[in-house]
Amino acid sequence: MPFFLSHRARCSPLCLCLLWLGLALPATAALPQEPSSTIVLDVDATTISRKILSARESFPVASPLAHTVDLVYPKWIPGNHAPTGPIADLVNLRFTADGKVLAWVRDPVDMFRFHIPVPAETHLLVADFSLVGAYVPGNDFAPGNTSTPVQGDVNWDQVVLYPADTAADGVTIAASIRLPDGWSYATALPHPRQEGGAIHFDPISLTTLIDSPLMCGSIMREFDITPKGVSQRHLLDLFAQSPEGLSVSPERIVAFRNLVGEAGALFRSHHYASYHFLVEAQGEANDGLEHHQSSDDQVPELGMVSASFAAEGGTLMAHEMIHSWNGKFRRPAGLATPDYQQPMVGELLWVYEGLTSYWAEVLATRAGLETEAQLEDRLALDQAELDRRTGRNWRNLQDVSTSAQLLYSASQQWTILRRSTDYYREGPLIWLQVDSILRERSKGARSLDTFAAEFFGPPDGVIAVKPYTYDDLVAALDHIAPFDWNTLLKDNLLATRPTPVSPGLEAAGWTVVYTDEPNQAAVDAESTSQQTDLSTSIGLLIDPDGTIVDIVPDSAAGRAGLAPALKLMGVNHRVYSPDLLRQAIVNAETQQQPIDLLTLADGYYAEFSVDYHNGLRSPHLKRIAGKPDLLTTILQPRRNQ
């Protein structure tokens, strides 16, 4: 049989062996003669706009004696790299056996595990439960974050229980879902059919179900972005808050089609039957979650039609698609767990996320989703962010990767001192160095593109998980161009406060300089987040209401005694505003007086004098004289080669 239910028996284990029967039958129905192993999951999403999902899950069983069944709720969700299953929002949980309500007990140690005593001669165990959600900062895929009156995002891991101590590949589930009237949907799940007011899907493994979210809404448009000559169908499914959010320009659609072509040219393979970009434009979210045959992208309202979000949106979409190869098909061994309860080991997230972030910037530029100038500003901003990360004095990138499960949920306050998931920023700079060295040592004949095709490509057409280790990675690089890759990578991973921060930029022929000219990537980021970023000048990151989000400890603001959570009330004895503070920084260049700031915290006012006279400083890339410009070479399109 494909799996066995974990239980505690009252007699011999042999006589209590459970047979799982796959029928969507009421509790009083007779059992079929031919047993199967399919669990039936019926989800009611008709109240998703109220941030409520309900589910009924049927587990047909056959056992002559009483026993205890153990079911678990998914805890470690792939792509989240942390135990983020929203167990606290699981409500109205009830189990019945052939219609009789059962008393259940939560495991006293594992909060995600339930013990259910099942009476003798039970034929059908049914679980009824709901998931509720309020807005949770930093958890962009919680139902409270993704549900609005006109759209929703159903992640199946949030509405399913499964047998404990069972490999996810060995659990088969037949799922169905009811949506609000008039709503459209999109998902990578194959063969949907309408029956009795619900959408039904063929039985599939629990792995495939959880890897295939369903996005829905009443304002939706689907774009076919399949390049000519590509057999796998590629679709952009956009769900918006208003019809204006669906008006993606034809030029932008061409660029997304180019992205598909560039990904194919890079990896020389496909590991999916078709691919869906699932995009929900709502609120202020800016996040993505990768899946094997789709992405789950959360972007700001009107984000898909916003010029200020163009570069960020393009790299977000590229990032999640690239994960189909780097993350879903080829996966670090520590992240390739057999079920959703086993802890994941994130020590190679600097490859999983860092290399994906590098290729996202490269492919988005090759495709025309961002310009070379935009990419240069984004790389300069990445290095500037790392320059001011004082947490790099005590914590290396390897520890950041290993402790990612803690950092994803950490507050934004004190990030500069603590560090965050910096492989999204530092990773691209490391892999730019690797790419540059490959190109130099092979005299342009080989590159990280070669590595992509050889390591993440074969065998073409296979939808599976192919784990790898650090040693596999080093050996693959050495096969392309012999070099001491182990020392190079370890030097980057284990160093604290490396100098220079990004040897990758230098290897590619570029460096970072600071001027008073605004960095457009920083301007765009402020437009999206509404935060005021003065971290490269006086050392403050400020929320729209004036609350200090973070501070550079060794900056002028840090030396003055300012700290996160203080709320700015005044600048030079006038009411605070972001523009007023910026003007004060500019004026201080020609004045000797410090900038006076008035703050409020915990019912107390306080005054601070910030002695700063260097003006507004923004990072920019600048060519290094005499060094080859490898970055420009790297960014050349390949889809028509």
- DSSP code per residue over 241-282: SSGGGG---HHHHHHHHHHHHHHHHHHS---SSEEEEEEEE-
Using alpha carbons only, give the angle 190, 191, 193 rounded to the nearest 5 degrees. 135
The two structure tokens encoding residue 479: 């096969």
pLDDT per residue as tens digits for the range 201-228: 999 999 999 999 999 999 999 999 999 9
- CA distances for 548 relative to 542, 563, 597, angstroms: 4, 7, 12
The per-residue pLDDT for 640 is 84
Percentage of the chain surpassing pLDDT 90?
88
Q: Which helix (H) or strand (E) holds 623?
A: strand 618-623
Q: Which helix (H) or strand (E) holds 472?
A: helix 470-480
CA–CA separation, 207 and 102 (whole Å): 28
Pick the CATH number of 7-216 from 2.60.120.10, 3.40.630.30, 1.20.1260.10, 2.60.40.3650: 2.60.40.3650
Radius of gyration of the chain (CA): 27
pLDDT per residue as tens digits for the range 585-605: 999 999 999 999 999 999 999
CA–CA separation, 595 and 573 (whole Å): 10
pLDDT per residue as tens digits for the range 501-529: 789 999 999 999 999 999 999 999 999 99
Residue 108 exposed, middle or buried by CB count within 10 Å (0-12, 13-18, 19+):
exposed
3-state secondary structure of 549: strand
With the CA atoms of 308, 312, 316 and 319 taken in that order, what torsion angle do they form, in degrees rounded to the nearest 10?
150
The per-residue pLDDT for 143 is 80
The two structure tokens encoding residue 577: 């505003």
Using alpha carbons only, give the angle 352, 357, 360 rounded to the nearest 5 degrees. 120
pLDDT per residue as tens digits for the range 132-165: 987 666 567 878 889 999 999 999 999 999 999 9
The two structure tokens encoding residue 419: 């560090």
Per-position DSSP letters for 176-213, written without gaps between them: EEE--TT-EEEES-S--EEETTEEE---EEHHHHHT--
Pick the CATH number of 527-616 from 3.40.50.2000, 3.50.50.60, 2.30.42.10, 2.60.120.10: 2.30.42.10
Tell me the H-state helices in 76-153.
143-146
> In this structure, which amino acid lies at residue 430?
I
Residue 628 exposed, middle or buried by CB count within 10 Å (0-12, 13-18, 19+):
middle
Domain extent listing, the chain:
7-216, 219-512, 527-616
The per-residue pLDDT for 183 is 98
Neighbours of 4 (CB within 10 A): 15
Cα 549 vs. chain centroid, distance in angstroms?
22
CA–CA separation, 65 and 50 (whole Å): 42
Q: Which residue has the tokens 């009252």?
A: 10
The per-residue pLDDT for 140 is 74
The per-residue pLDDT for 138 is 58
Confirm if 617 and 516 have CB atoms less than 8 A apart.
yes
**Which candidate, 158, 157, 70, places its Cα nearest to that of 118?**
70
CA–CA separation, 492 and 497 (whole Å): 10
CATH 1.10.390.10 for domain 219-512, yes or no, is yes
CA–CA separation, 118 and 619 (whole Å): 64
The per-residue pLDDT for 361 is 98
Max Cα separation, the chain?
90
Q: What is the DSSP letter of 591?
A: -
493 phi and psi angles, rounded to 5 deg: -80, -35
Q: Which residue has the tokens 């997304």?
A: 256
- CA distances for 79 relative to 289, 525, 551, 586, angstroms: 6, 24, 29, 43
- CA distances for 592 relative to 581, 582, 609, angstroms: 16, 17, 12
The per-residue pLDDT for 139 is 66
Dihedral sign, Cα of residue 289, residue 294, residue 296, residue 301: positive
| Residues shown for the chain | 641
3-state secondary structure of 584: helix
The per-residue pLDDT for 3 is 30
The per-residue pLDDT for 524 is 95
pTM of the model: 0.93
The per-residue pLDDT for 137 is 62
The per-residue pLDDT for 286 is 87
The two structure tokens encoding residue 13: 């284990």
Cα 310 vs. chain centroid, distance in angstroms?
18
The two structure tokens encoding residue 446: 């080989």
The per-residue pLDDT for 498 is 75
The per-residue pLDDT for 352 is 98
Q: Which residues of the chain have pLDDT under 70?
A: 1-36, 135-139
Neighbours of 302 (CB within 10 A): 17
**Which candidate, 430, 427, 424, 425, places its Cα nearest to that of 485?**
430
